[in-house]
Copies of this chain bind each other. A is one copy, B any other.
Amino acid sequence: MRIDLNSDLGESFGPWAMGDDASMLGLVTSANIACGGHAGDPDTMYDTLVLAREQGVCVGAHPGYADREGFGRRVIPMQPEQVSRLIAAQVGALCAMAQFAGTRVQYVKPHGALANLAADDMQVARAIVNAVSRLQPRLAILAISGTHLELVARDAGVPVYSEIFADRAYLPNGRLMPRNQPGAVLHDPEFAVQRLLGFIQTGNMPVIGGTPIALQAHSICVHGDNPEAVAMASMIRQRLMAEGVELKAFA
């Protein structure tokens, strides 16, 4: 058994730090790096890319709505073709920065409200896949497991990988419980790890208010902006390895 461990990193902005990227990059196998839209700036992108390269961590682009105040967690009404262009500009910025930093972007994982929208909205999912497929050969998509984005990417022949969340509660329909609802974010590493180990053994993910659902997963996401992020990623890493699970980048 082998799986990837990913985290959203590079989400500082100017004078404002977010998360402990240096520690997280010692724990994860893939880093989704913000592209200057919902978070990040040229210096943050560069620094995070260099750290990822030094730690041998696989790099993905993490584009989101260009809404810093809302951290990309609010749906900004856009036409599908505008979404494609947003993705192209942000992924392009990170790809070039990666080249400048001596590494390479391997995949794209949409952020926040855009990812949640692409889970169910075919037009938005297509807009994202359309942009990614035209930017760089073999550029993959990392999608929330069981979503339209996953299906659309597969249909389009774009390499696609699925992720589950270590620190987010699930709804019976397989979607993430919205952040503004109590219990949406798991803060107890032990509970999160137990849920994860159960999932890895059974392929079924517990949900709030329903029976566990079957999900596929090439990767596990641990959020980097959780105060418990480092503790959680560290415990997940140890316990999975203790169970004989190999942690390795999917890309």
Contacts and interface: CB of A to CB of B under 8 A. Distances in A.
Interface stretch (A10-18, A165-173, A191-199, A232-240): A10-18
Nearest to A131: B100
Nearest to A44: B85
Contact of A95 (B17, B68, B82, B92): B92
A127 to B, nearest CB: 11
B134 A89 contact: no
B36 A71 contact: no
Nearest to A47: B85
Contacts of A89: 36, 42, 45, 93-94, 96-97
A173 B186 CA distance: 45
Interface in A36-85: 36, 39, 41-43, 45-46, 66-71, 74-78, 82, 84-85
A86 interface: yes
A88 B82 contact: no
A211 interface: no
Given A77-B74, A85-B43, A99 B135 contact: yes
Nearest to A14: B69
A47 to B, nearest CB: 9
A91 interface: yes
Contact of A68 (B14, B43, B99): B14
A85 B94 CA distance: 10
Given A70-B14, A76-B67, A88 B97 contact: yes
Contacts of A14: 68-71
A38 to B, nearest CB: 9
A90 interface: yes
A49 to B, nearest CB: 10
26 contacts: A13-B16, A14-B69, A15-B18, A15-B39, A15-B70, A16-B16, A41-B69, A42-B85, A42-B86, A42-B89, A43-B82, A45-B89, A70-B76, A74-B78, A75-B77, A84-B100, A85-B97, A88-B99, A89-B94, A90-B93, A92-B92, A92-B94, A92-B96, A92-B99, A100-B131, A100-B134
